[in-house]
Amino acid sequence: MLDFASASVRMVNSSAAVTECMQAALGVDDTDCDLVIIYASMGHDHQALIDQAARLAPSATIVGSSCCGVVGSEGVSESMHDVALMTVRGGQELAVAALDGIYAENSRECGQRLARALHHANPQVNVVLFLGSGIDIANDEVVSGFEDVLGPEVTVVGATSSDNMKGITSFQMAGGAVMEHGAWAVGFADPTLRAVTQATHGFVAVGEPLVVTLSKGNQIIELNGRPAWGEYTKRLALTESATCGDTIPIGALAERLPEDLAAEYGNDHILRVVTKRDSDGTMHYPTTCPEGTELWLTVRDEQRIFDDMDRMMNQMTQRIGDDEVIAVFHADCLARGRFLFNRVMKEELVGRMQYPLSVDGEVPPWLGMYGFGEFARLGGENTYHNYTTALYALVRREP
């Protein structure tokens, strides 16, 4: 059976940060394990993180991601020097795959390649933790690639990497190297485990929609018959010289959901973020976006964010039942962190998600990050989200 442990720390020295986390998670005497997953803020030397983890856990496969802050069982932190990690022991029930060079146009192919590698390593994989570049990939196509190989019954969870909300570049760690357009996937094949996943955002769509009048794949070329970026920033009362970082906190775009999915989601819309734009005004969307798509601007409703979090946690705990929560993976939109809330509200929000999953006041092994996007099931299907809190509880079935 798989065994999980986690730790997080705020520390300037990258090697020392990994050492403290590994020893806190596994003890001083034996820090070796089969897998180390690292999330680290942009102020860290990501190669140094990998190298130190390899020294402390020579048997381990090491993967990781840059992010805009971390959440661990110790709480939340969003400095430039945060590190959080999850260790896993039980190598026969794990599979890991990685690649470099993922972009929008080859996203489905990359998903297929990762899925084939996982299946080859362990045909019993039924839960996949995916991490890919947060900029310029078609995330719905990645999901389709996994399902092409592993079937729609596989549960795909995870996140996309981020920087400190600049939308310039983000990093992925795998194979002993740091990449800018990489992706990795961890497959879990422990037959005693199942994944309970859900996401929520709490934003409200407002005004008249923007209409996609020209697009190609995940690239929105025109909105309302005008260059997309100019029309988008005009609606946000920004100049066309605005950066993606300027628009991310205030510019969530919303697509209307069918009634059945809206009822489950607790919201009429699913949100999307823009993390890249070209000089001609083309906007890079995180999923494919066909012509005719209507996109609403949104406003955050802070009371609804908290109410929806409570609703989600009630639903998750009901689905978990009497099973034991073994570990929690957590992806949060960076705009829901310090760029959206002050520290007190942010910590309260994290407390509301961790308390219901705790046992006797103890938070289970927990690895969370603030990134550019999140994966969680919706309507029984693997779905890519933005601006959400997405939780993935691995629970052990009662015998």
pLDDT band at 274 (very low <50, low <70, confident <90, very high): very high
* H or E element that contains 110: helix 107-121
Task: Report the pLDDT averaged over residues 231-257.
Answer: 94
Structure tokens at 108: 């489905």
Q: Say what the alpha-carbon torsion angle 17, 19, 23, 26 is, to the nearest 10 degrees.
A: 100
pLDDT band at 222 (very low <50, low <70, confident <90, very high): very high
- Closest residue by Cα to residue 143 from 318, 319, 367, 376: 376
Lowest mean pLDDT among 185-199, 255-269, 340-354: 340-354
Q: What is the pLDDT of residue 338?
A: 53
Predicted confidence (pLDDT) at residue 342 exceeds the cutoff of 60: no
Q: Convert the pLDDT of each residue in 232-244 to its tens digit.
A: 999 999 999 999 9
Q: Taking CA 130 as the corner, what is the angle to CA 129 and CA 135, rounded to the nearest 5 degrees?
A: 155
- Local structure of 333: helix, strand or coil: strand
Interstrand relation of 324-333 and 294-300 (parallel, antiparallel or unpaired):
unpaired
Task: Report the pLDDT averaged over residues 144-158.
Answer: 97
Structure tokens at 161: 């990497």
- Closest residue by Cα to residue 80 from 181, 130, 11: 11
Q: What is the pLDDT of residue 83?
A: 97
Q: What is the pLDDT of residue 38?
A: 98
Q: Are 357 and 309 in contact (CB under 8 A)?
A: no
Q: Say what the alpha-carbon torsion angle 334, 263, 153, 130 is, to the nearest 10 degrees.
A: 0
- Phi-psi map region of 15: left, alpha, beta (phi>0 left; psi -120 to 50 alpha): alpha
Task: Report the pLDDT averaged over residues 184-211.
Answer: 95
Burial class (CB in 10 A: 0-12, 13-18, 19+), 43: middle
Total residue length of the chain: 399
Predicted confidence (pLDDT) at residue 260 exceeds the cutoff of 60: yes
Q: What is the DSSP string of 295-329?
A: EEEEEE-HHHHHHHHHHHHHHHHHHHTTSEEEEEE
Q: What is the pLDDT of residue 345?
A: 64
Tracing tokens 């697009």 back to the chain, one arrives at 215
Q: Convert the pLDDT of each residue in 169-189 to its tens digit.
A: 999 999 999 999 999 999 999
Task: Report the pLDDT averaged over residues 310-314.
Answer: 95
Q: What is the pLDDT of residue 340?
A: 54
Task: Report the pLDDT averaged over residues 362-379.
Answer: 96
| Separation of alpha carbons 73 and 130, rounded Å | 21
| Separation of alpha carbons 286 and 270, rounded Å | 12
| Separation of alpha carbons 267 and 35, rounded Å | 37
- Closest residue by Cα to residue 159 from 74, 64, 250, 50: 64
The whole-chain average pLDDT of the chain stands at 94
- Local structure of 232: helix, strand or coil: helix
For residue 148, report the phi and psi dihedrals to the nearest 5 degrees: -55, -35
pLDDT band at 248 (very low <50, low <70, confident <90, very high): confident
pLDDT band at 334 (very low <50, low <70, confident <90, very high): confident
Give the CA count within 13 Å in the CB-facing half-sphere of 66. 27
Structure tokens at 228: 């997309």
Task: Report the pLDDT averaged over residues 51-79.
Answer: 95
Predicted confidence (pLDDT) at residue 349 exceeds the cutoff of 80: yes
Instruction: Map out the domains of the chain as residue ranges.
Output: 3-199+306-396, 203-300
Q: Are 370 and 333 in contact (CB under 8 A)?
A: yes
Show the DSSP H helices in 7-106 as ranges. 14-26, 46-56
Q: Is the dihedral of CA 337, 128, 44, 171 positive or negative?
A: negative
| Separation of alpha carbons 151 and 178, rounded Å | 30
Q: Taking CA 70 as the corner, what is the angle to CA 94 and CA 67, rounded to the nearest 5 degrees?
A: 85
Name which residue leads in pLDDT, 167 or 44: 44
CB-based contacts of 12: which residues, under 8 Å, 6+ apart? 43, 81
Can you state the percent helix, strand and coil of the chain, rounding each to 5? 30, 40, 35
CA 344 to mean position of chain CA atoms = 23
CB-based contacts of 141: which residues, under 8 Å, 6+ apart? 104, 107, 108, 111, 287, 288
